[in-house]
Chains A and B, each alone.
Chain A
């Protein structure tokens, strides 16, 4: 992972100048150790530059647009309306923590802080875990976030506690200025040993000239379980580049579901390190891309410790001029024996103007392993269409049903009902099928 240098000294100087306003004297109140990290990240970004040319990790996703725009920090903005389903809810608007969290029934099980509270009350925790998982030394956008973030959400789940209600982080990008604006959501979740939680991140808002540059760090200590959902529904011209980094200690289990519906240039990264034995991770992903959307799902699973399993399934549906990219790497370190890794990537290409680029990779340095990957790109199965047509279903409806079924495979795995219902309705509406919510109303007593 070598960041390509900007093409010339001139562009590099311009690039740095663009961001200096973000990091100039802004963080003087922070503890020294954390300030030092910001400075290192600045240097790392200056060194790495934008991944413009010949960078394998950015082969199919071009970020010239970001490099050419001069960004302003997204201003403070009012909180959006909260959804009505029950959850421990946190609002992050334009990268800033809004309001206070109410979680009284859970106060002995979980703590949630904003950045300022965290470094005043929990410096130990931060010094131990903050910025430890993000690969900001190699990744220019992780470096940028680390240098520029304004506020953060820090969540700690105490040992052996189970949080039944989902923790919902609503990340809203409020586009109220005409100028290009960037925001830097930053999240750290520590699940202490034996704890169990469900985290839902939803990304909303955005617009033309909006750039959401986020970093999420998930730490799972021994035996911890996390269900992680990311639902990205930003305006379809938003630039969305968010990296999620997870580290799993022994016997920890992580399930991620990353669903992309919105955004113009979208890059969802999900890096999982399995550092303890018998860790287990499942990555599910779904993206729907239309118009001129560009959706890049980039995953990397590092099998560092032996006897871990990973399972990955990513699906995409592309129409119009959309461009879908999948990069999935499974890296088995020397000594990570008994690794069992499976990766599947499927794309449904519904338009000749759309494009799919898929790059599954296995890199294996241990011999007693079982690793597979599979990738398919294609259209709807003619036999399945025929079957439905023989049952008197119109061609159009048959197609809709099959497309829905393709996506439902992922959506049905979502265990937070309100999120699942909402996504199902969006999909059904898109395909012109009767809404699940209407059906549910009928069947409810």
Chain B
């Protein structure tokens, strides 16, 4: 098709639309990483001694670890861990009772991103715990959630108010020595969200946090802990954008989910951080450890993610299916454009009887993007009648990108049934032709086909996110013809 080159060029030259920088005074600890820095972070945050000790244990272990570099399709310059500010917080930090007290600069940023903090109250159903850099500056709907006994607060607050819960569950799914970046996070995590849903409570609204990296040269180390007690349900939304920046920024978050008997957690992410410019300069390094544990019988954890941003994404939201009849789900759309690299997938570890898992992964590569699905399905000996279905599809746009699928299947139980399917293709010319015949422009046709390709995943997003996700896909891929 003659439009190919033009549209692909157009696509690959698209600038990051939401790159802007907010001037706010910040409080920073000096650059570098040592025990003193960790003690300082802990002191600033007024943490109890056990947490400081935990951080230090993590740090000492981190020192013995080596940065993983074995992904053949992931290339990046070495990170200087001593050249990062490990803590930054907006300076004015008095208690805020209403949204009006939030720094107008911050609010304007959110507005430009289309996060209607003010409108949240009217647009019932979404409580926002906005994490601006590392400290929560505004939390809404807290009162209403409190009535039901649901705890939804910043991690620091949880450490102060609910130390027993935090102490019981922190690191119980992702131990501090799990991997290089999880250890780093455990040592220096600044803040994050904490959710506890008491037994039998169905959280009436989607809980949502917008992460945003803002301060120059500040690594962001979020820590999220969500606990759904027996018979409860919660849906959690995480989304992020980051301003234009030249240096690479490191983001190493840890998310831990715990579902007890009959509980269900739905965790949705839209990730649109700064992916670097079209030459591949700058952009966020997104090295995240996300893991959920289905501890209870009949519990369920569902991950849905739309990954369009970051220079490098390295992320495997996993589920440990411990309880009998527990269910794990993973739905993912990952888009790589320009010089973006994504290595993402999931791990489903089946331990309990009759456990089930579903994996649906859609990768779209354009420009010089490299998109890898890497997933593990492991059926342990005791997981009788375990069931897994995985589907990984890749779509290639342009001939300079790469799409890779690397599933690992390990089965140790003869009653288990594991199925994996993967396909790679481009947008068919016959499909475009069909749409063109019906009067659609080539662009609309591609948009429609891509949306159809991802539909299975997008359908699993909560309404608020589905709209944004579709918009994001449209923005990153409109005009591209395979």
Contact = CB atoms under 8 A, between A and B. Distances in A.
Interface of A: 54, 56, 334-335, 337, 347, 349-352, 354-379
B462 to A, nearest CB: 32
11 contacts: A349-B411, A350-B414, A358-B411, A359-B409, A361-B406, A362-B406, A367-B398, A367-B482, A370-B424, A373-B422, A377-B409
B230 interface: no
B68 to A, nearest CB: 10
A374 B392 CA distance: 10
A354 B379 CA distance: 12
Nearest to B406: A361
Contacts of A372: 421-424
Nearest to B424: A371
B156 interface: no
A351 B411 CA distance: 11
Contact of A56 (B70, B400, B412, B417): B70
Given A357-B410, A359-B408, A361-B404, A367 B397 contact: yes
A361 B419 CA distance: 15
Nearest to A354: B414
Given A371-B424, A372-B423, A352 B399 contact: no
Contacts of A352: 381, 412-415
Nearest to A381: B417
A377 B416 contact: yes
Contacts of B131: none
B425 A370 contact: yes
A334 B407 CA distance: 22
Given A371-B423, A374-B421, A364 B412 contact: no
A351 B70 CA distance: 34
Nearest to B482: A367
B396 interface: yes
Contacts of A56: 70
Nearest to A365: B402
A357 B402 contact: no
- The interface residues of chain B, by DSSP majority, are classed as strand
Contacts of A337: 399
Contacts of B411: 347, 349, 355-358, 377
Interface in B66-98: 70, 73
B160 interface: no
B263 interface: no
Contacts of B424: 362, 364, 369-372
A295 B404 CA distance: 26
Contacts of B420: 358, 360, 373-376
Given A349-B414, A350-B414, A377-B417, A358 B422 contact: no
Interface in B278-306: none
Contacts of A362: 394, 403-406, 422, 424
A333 to B, nearest CB: 10
A352 B416 CA distance: 10
A363 B394 CA distance: 11
B333 interface: no
Given A369-B426, A372-B422, A359 B407 contact: yes
A379 B418 CA distance: 10
B244 interface: no
A337 to B, nearest CB: 7
Contacts of A359: 406-409
A373 B405 contact: yes
Contact of B399 (A361, A363, A368, A373): A368
